[in-house]
Amino acid sequence: MYAQMVKSTGEAVKSREEMTPEERRFQDRIDAGEKIEPKDWMPEGYRKTLIRQIAQHAHSEVVGQLPEGNWITRAPTLERKAILLAKVQDEAGHGLYLYCAAETLGVSRDELTERLLDGSMKYSSIFNYPTLTWADIGAVGWLVDGAAIMNQVPLQRTSFGPYSRAMIRICKEESFHQRQGYDIMLKMARGTEAQRRMAQDALNRFWYPALMMFGPSDKDSVHSAQSMAWKIKINTNDELRQKFVDQTVPQAEYLGLTIPDPDLKFNEETGHYDFTQPDWEEFFQVVSGNGPCNAERLEARRRAWEDGAWVREGLLAHAEKRAARSAAE
Ligand code: FAQ
């Protein structure tokens, strides 16, 4: 079993006095809201953090196709099937934009894939949960894409140009994804009693895993302080989680469904919902490789990578032939 271990120590953020002159100039550009482009000078830690985050994000988009792909052949109508197919294809496209953004930092897509497959790189915890019923596809669109948008809209303003531009395209598509999920939930919540129960069951199982998508609580988030100083991240994990809860509770009410949290309550003083935190022990288990579907997801990616070897080899051979031909002309 591979291990997705979480480091326990945070990275210290350098004060201005501790920075080299180059680092200070870099920080000034960030503070002034300038975009950093691939050929610009950047601290090694900035490059490494971006590669980690962008690649984790790219892997998530690609692995994220699996729980939904599972339902393409079983979608209840031709229309639902066409919509789901388009959504899953969008996720593949998101993965590609993101791998391209990571490649501008001097790492190859092959290397990133190898690091996903050997367990040294992560993908989002959420995709280690199974999609057991059609209502789960509704819950994934509504809650998982909903959480993804909440996290990614601010990332459109992230400091690294290629990542920021990729996010702008991705967010346009994610909002359609969220709407299609909500539409499935609406149909089911207003359908037969059995369909309503299925929708409630999907909400029960996906609520806390969706809250975990935002990452550990701020006190356990080892990268947040430095990533926010570099504007790689714009908000803390807890800030976005709270915004997601505040936005989603009224949507659940409109569906006539109950969020599986007896302590969930609107707090008049703060203007936000108070809610029960996810089980962080479960989160750390899932990101350490011990979630319900980790082994299955990685095995599917490994098989796809091996089965696709002949395509990659064929494309390379073709490119070499063309290059040789144009050199001879
Ligand atoms: N799952 O210090 P922090 C989608 C790790 S896209 C697994 O707080 P950071 C679209 C973290 O890497 C969903 N690992 O980390 C879609 C670190 O470990 P490390 C993906 C997690 O980076 C929908 C450690 O814990 N979105 O869903 C998770 O500052 C439907 C400590 O955490 C993105 O990737 C997690 N949930 O903040 C597709 C967005 N959370 O590397 C198909 C971009 C944390 O030190 C179908 N990423 N970890 O060993 C981010 O915004 C950030 O990376 C966070 C984590 C907020 C996810």
CA 296 to each of CA 65, 117, 128, 160, 254: distance values in angstroms, whole numbers, following the listed order? 13, 12, 9, 33, 35
Is the CB of residue 233 below 6 angstroms from any atom belonging to ligand 1?
Answer: yes
**Atom 8 (ligand 1) nearest CA:** 221
φ, ψ at 265 (rounded to 5°):
-160, 140
Residue 120: is its pLDDT beyond 90? yes
- Structure tokens, 154: 């601010």
Is the CB of residue 212 below 6 angstroms from any atom belonging to ligand 1?
Answer: yes
Is the CB of residue 61 below 6 angstroms from any atom belonging to ligand 1?
Answer: yes
**Atom 27 (ligand 1) nearest CA:** 148
Q: Report the length, in residues, of the chain.
A: 329
Summarize pLDDT for 217-227 with one digit per residue, the tens. 999 999 999 99
Contact 185, 199 (CB under 8 A): yes
**What is the residue-averaged pLDDT of the chain?**
95
Mean pLDDT value of segment 81-90? 97
- Residue that has been written with the tokens 């789960």 in this structure: 136
Contact 242, 274 (CB under 8 A): no
Residue 8: is its pLDDT beyond 80? no
Calpha distance 140→146 (Å, rounded): 8
Summarize pLDDT for 144-186 with one digit per residue, the tens. 999 999 999 999 999 999 999 999 999 989 989 999 999 999 9
Task: Measure CA 276 to chain center.
Answer: 22
Identify the band that residue 195 occupies on the pLDDT scale cut at 50, 70 and 90.
very high
H-helix or E-strand spanning residue 272:
strand 272-274
Calpha distance 207→67 (Å, rounded): 16
What contacts 302, CB < 8 A, 6 or more positions away?
117
At residue 303, the pLDDT reads: 97
The SS3 assignment for 266 reads strand
Is the CB of residue 87 below 6 angstroms from any atom belonging to ligand 1?
Answer: no
At residue 329, the pLDDT reads: 83
Residue 3: is its pLDDT beyond 60? no
- The ligand 1 atom at the shortest distance from the C-alpha of residue 147 is 27
Q: How far is the CA of 242 from the centre of ligand 1 (A)?
A: 16
Ligand 1 pocket check: which of 122, 140, 176 to mutate, most ligand atoms within 8 Å of Cβ?
122
Q: How far is the CA of 56 from the centre of ligand 1 (A)?
A: 7
Is the CB of residue 64 below 6 angstroms from any atom belonging to ligand 1?
Answer: yes
